[in-house]
């Protein structure tokens, strides 16, 4: 079960600081650019996007600036407040809209069907079984519509290496079948990590996997924010390795995040 109250409290608490932190972080900035390029390359101009766990709406605002229409959804009060501030400041003819709901309540989404459904940076790791979300996708997507999701996998070599420093709990937290309790701004939020096999199974036969890309396999996870400050040139080199090899097998099975691109092909 998802504790939506804890999710609301934790992620609402991050709303005020999240954008500034991301904008100043070289790994997050690179990852955002990579993910945004993937989304934009899969759909035509003026396409419609449904964003799940949209956070502060920074991705949604970017896609609107590129000519797309975005319906941004999130469960956290604080995140929705920031999104609505963005909407109020934009002169976009209603191209950015918002709705407060969880990704377990997708039957209530307004504006379907969409050309693409998007979820960034592990919001979907707040649920133990992705099929609770994927079963709603056929009713929300146009035929041959696209899904781009960024999900945290079970294997992150940078975390496993923490065992060598004596941080055994950090090294093994992704491997627990019962999930891990994460501290998000003082709220305990259960987190589950999804293997490539479990993600593929959740989508079923009606979805074709087009691409899987590792994010922060060679470069350090974003929460290791001291590394880029101490080793900026090395970080830049490692990001280049991620960019070049992250979509290749077997590298596209591990990392801090994996980006999945699926196409809906109804049978």
pLDDT at 90: 86
Residue 217: the pLDDT is 98
**H-assigned helices in 123-267:** 131-134, 157-160, 168-172, 196-203, 226-230, 232-245
Exposed/middle/buried for 145, CB within 10 Å: 0-12, 13-18, 19+? buried
Helices (H), 135-183: 157-160, 168-172
Are 112 and 41 in contact, with CB atoms under 8 Å apart? no
DSSP-derived letter for residue 220 is P
What's the Rg (C-alpha) of the chain?
Answer: 18
Those residues with Cβ within 8 angstroms of residue 144's Cβ, 6 or more apart along the chain or in another chain: 263, 264, 265
Greater model confidence, 4 or 103: 103
Asked if 121 and 257 count as a contact pair (C-beta separation under 8 A), the reply is yes
pLDDT at site 9: 65
The pLDDT value recorded for residue 184 is: 81
User: For residue 267, what pLDDT band results from cuts at 50, 70 and 90?
Assistant: confident
Q: Are strands 180-184 and 141-151 parallel, antiparallel or unpaired?
A: unpaired
Q: Where are the domains of the chain?
A: 4-154+193-264
Give me the chain's average pLDDT, please.
92
Confidence of residue 10 (pLDDT cuts 50, 70, 90): low
Residue 12 predicted with pLDDT over 80: no
CA distance 149 to 235: 25
Integer angstrom CA distances of residue 66 from 31, 141, 206, 262 = 18, 21, 29, 22
Can you tell me the distance from the alpha carbon of 136 to that of 210, in angstroms, rounded to the nearest whole number?
Answer: 20
Centre a 10 Å sphere on the Cβ of residue 84 and count the other Cβ atoms it contains: 15
Among candidate residues 45, 56, 61, 194, the one with its CA nearest the CA of residue 116: 45
Say what the pTM is: 0.94
CA distance 78 to 134: 26
pLDDT at 197 over 80: yes
The predicted pLDDT at position 189 comes to 87
Residue 112 confidence class, pLDDT cut points 50, 70, 90 = very high
pLDDT class of 2 with cuts at 50, 70, 90: confident
Backbone angles phi, psi at 13, to 5 degrees: -65, -25
Q: Assign 17 a pLDDT band (cuts: 50, 70, 90).
A: low
215-251 pLDDT per residue, tens: 999 999 998 989 999 999 999 999 999 999 999 999 9
3-state secondary structure at position 101: coil
Q: Helix, strand or coil for residue 72?
A: strand
Average pLDDT over residues 207-220: 98
pLDDT in tens, 59-109: 999 999 999 999 999 999 999 999 999 999 987 788 999 999 999 999 999
pLDDT tens for residues 168-191? 988 999 999 899 998 887 778 899
CATH code, residues 4-154+193-264: 3.40.50.150
């Amino acid at each position: 079960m998802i504790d939506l109250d804890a999710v609301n409290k934790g992620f609402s608490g991050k709303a005020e600081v999240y954008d500034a932190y991301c904008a100043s972080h070289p790994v997050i900035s690179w990852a955002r650019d990579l993910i945004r390029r993937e989304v934009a390359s899969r759909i035509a101009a003026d396409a419609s996007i449904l964003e799940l766990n949209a956070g502060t709406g920074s991705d949604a605002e970017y896609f609107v600036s590129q000519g797309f229409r975005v319906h941004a959804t999130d469960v956290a009060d604080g995140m929705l407040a920031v999104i609505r501030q963005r909407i109020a400041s934009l002169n976009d003819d209603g191209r950015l809209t918002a709705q407060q709901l969880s990704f377990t309540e997708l039957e209530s989404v307004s504006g379907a069907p969409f050309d693409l459904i998007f979820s960034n940076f592990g919001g979907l790791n707040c649920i133990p079984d992705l099929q609770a979300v994927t079963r709603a996708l056929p009713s929300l997507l146009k035929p041959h519509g696209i899904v781009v999701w960024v999900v945290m996998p079970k294997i992150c070599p940078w975390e496993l290496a923490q065992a060598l420093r004596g941080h055994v709990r950090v090294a093994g937290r992704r491997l627990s079948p019962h999930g891990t309790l994460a501290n998000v701004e003082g709220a305990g939020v259960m987190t589950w990590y999804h293997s490539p096999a479990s993600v593929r199974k959740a989508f079923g036969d009606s979805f074709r996997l087009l691409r899987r890309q590792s994010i922060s396999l060679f470069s350090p996870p974003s929460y290791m924010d001291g590394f880029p400050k101490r080793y900026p040139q090395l970080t830049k080199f490692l990001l280049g390795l991620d960019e070049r090899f992250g979509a290749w097998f077997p590298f596209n099975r591990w990392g801090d995040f994996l980006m999945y691109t699926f196409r809906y092909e109804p049978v």
